[in-house]
Structure 1
């Protein structure tokens, strides 16, 4: 028996399930085969269930992170206020740059798990 992996194709209105890789409808929110909720796409960026995007959060951390804008965006209002209170020390800017790198290296699934709650 030949152990060559079979190549799978999808139609233009289909996508692969993020868990079991089955062909499912492009608009399906839940895979009918394995029951796993699919990651939502909005404007080409993968977004969490609450509509937050990892790329947008990373950009906010890079450009406006010293003022805590990325924290407000991610729903962490208390941390955002702390960033605002201490922005004159430049410590939040350094922390925001580190968070920018962390957000860029974070997978979409991990971002969804951490910040995707409704």
Structure 2
């Protein structure tokens, strides 16, 4: 009968997501199986696949939303130009404040679907 040994890891180690081997905590690739390790999600950094960040977009909407900077950042150049053309009416500022609240309350999945296209 085979004897099973239980693997224990230290504080600076983790288990490989593919083969279960103990590897260093900062390892990006498992030395045993060669699979790239997926970093754990960071709740403070909700970055889309194209590099756009929800918090940055919300801050742009709050501070520079009247000029449409958040629209340019999110790749909506046409809407950004509309915000610039009508910034003297302060209507874009009001709309940008509403978009600021929407961006902050939006889930990461929704943000990635709407603005995360590569």
Normalising by structure 1, we get a TM-score of 0.65
Tell me if structure 2 keeps the 8 A contact 1:52–1:74: yes
The equivalences for 1:89-100 within 5 A come to 89-100=89-100
- Note closer, same or farther for the CA distance 1:38–1:86 as it changes in structure 2 (3 Å cut): farther
What is the Cα-based RMSD across aligned positions, in Å? 2.9
SS of 2:52's partner is: coil
2:79 corresponds in structure 1 to 79
Deviation at 1:12, TM superposition (A): 6.1
Q: 1:88 to 1:55 in 2, by over 3 A?
A: same
Q: Tell me whether 1:108 sits opposite 2:108 in the alignment.
A: yes
Report which of the two has the higher share of strand: 1
Partner residue in 1 for 2:58? 58
Q: Which has the larger Rg?
A: 2
Give the CA deviation at 1:63: 0.2
Aligned to 1:34: none
* Deviation for aligned residue 1:75: 0.2
Q: How far did 1:45 drift?
A: 1.2
Q: Gapped runs of 5+ residues in structure 2?
A: 1-10, 18-24, 30-37
Unaligned runs of 5+ in 1: 1-10, 18-24, 29-36
Aligned length: 90
Q: Whole-Å Cα distance in 2 between the matches of residues 13 and 46 of structure 1?
A: 25
Aligned equivalent of 2:21: none
Return structure 1 stretches of 4+ with deviation > 4 angstroms.
Answer: 11-15, 25-28, 37-41
| TM-score, normalization by structure 2 | 0.65
